[in-house]
Amino acid sequence: MKKIVILISGRGSNMEAVVRACAREGWPARVQAVIANRPDAAGLGFAQANGIETIVVDHRQFESRASFDTALAREIDRSAPDLVVLAGFMRVLTDAFVERYAGRMLNVHPSLLPCFAGLRTHQQALDAGVRVHGASVHFVTPTLDHGPIVAQGAVPVLAGDDAAALAARVLAVEHVIYPRAVRWFIEGRLSIEGERVALTPSEPQWLFADIAGEGV
């Protein structure tokens, strides 16, 4: 059984998607713990209700990023995870922390990287006028919202979209590609080759949202 630790900051819907897929599809894996950096993270309730250990490491109790990351790593390492899953974990991580989990930490970011790193990605997409937007699952490297891409999902930007409408459409895609990418990792099928992630045996590392446009 592979061990997974999931880090959240809020709602935790991606965490929920991973936990549900793990149970439904019978992965050879177990979510050992869900760790939040905020005591009020709503996702903690789902984890508790599903018998998963929950831990809070409140970043406001620490004087520096480094001391927070050290405490966080201590809690993560108690589970000796094979994989750390960042699921809406809204903290910038120190290089030392990222390097500790190099090659075994995934993140989901709500844009088609390398476009729109950082925050307010849906508004960034609307402001840039792109017609296609989406989400990316990637291995975490020290550069924020950067790292070898495991999977991407694309959605159209529709007339009349605001950031909330676009976010909801992207989130639905996140809930498909993130569990899929985690499963690939658990199955030992991912290898990092420079900036690329190879999947063996291969299957589509992309997803186009099933929303009818003109029809092709």
Q: Which residues bind ligand GAR (CB under 6 A)?
A: 8, 10-14, 87-88, 108-110, 145, 171, 174
Q: Which is nearer to ligand GAR, 95 or 188 (CB)?
A: 95
Helix (H/G/I), strand (E/B), else coil: 18: helix
Our answer to whether residue 133 is catalytic in this structure is no
Q: What's the rounded Cα separation, in Å, for the pair 18 and 178?
A: 7
Q: Which residue is nearest to ligand GAR (CB)?
A: 88
CA angle (174 as vertex; 148, 54 as ends), nearest 5? 95
Cα separation of 61 and 20, whole Å? 32
Which of 137, 113, 138 lies closest to 125, judged by CA? 113
- Among residues 181, 165, 107, 88, which one has the least CA distance to residue 133? 165
Q: For ligand GAR, which is the closer residue by CB, 161 or 174?
A: 174
For residue 11, the minimal CB distance to ligand GAR (Å) is 4
Q: Which two tokens stand for residue 149?
A: 């891409």
How far apart are CB 202 and ligand GAR at their closest, in Å? 25
Question: Of 109, 122, 133, 175, which one is the catalytic site residue?
Answer: 109
CB of 213 to ligand GAR, least distance (A): 23
Burial state string for 129-145 with b = 16 or more CB within 10 A and e = fewer than 16: eeeebbbbbbbbbeeeb
Minimum distance of ligand GAR from residue 215's CB (angstroms): 29
Reduced to 3 DSSP states, what percent helix, strand and coil does the chain have, rounded to the nearest 5?
Answer: 35, 25, 40
Q: Find the helix packing angle between 163-186 and 13-25, rounded to 10°.
A: 40
Cα distances (angstroms) measured from residue 187 to each of 3, 85, 159, 183, 211: 12, 15, 40, 6, 30
Q: Measured from the CB atom, is 1 or 151 closer to ligand GAR?
A: 151
Nearer of residues 1 and 23 to ligand GAR, judged by Cβ: 23
Residue 41 CB, shortest distance to ligand GAR, in Å, is 8
Nearer to ligand GAR, 57 or 87 (CB): 87
Active site amino acids: 109
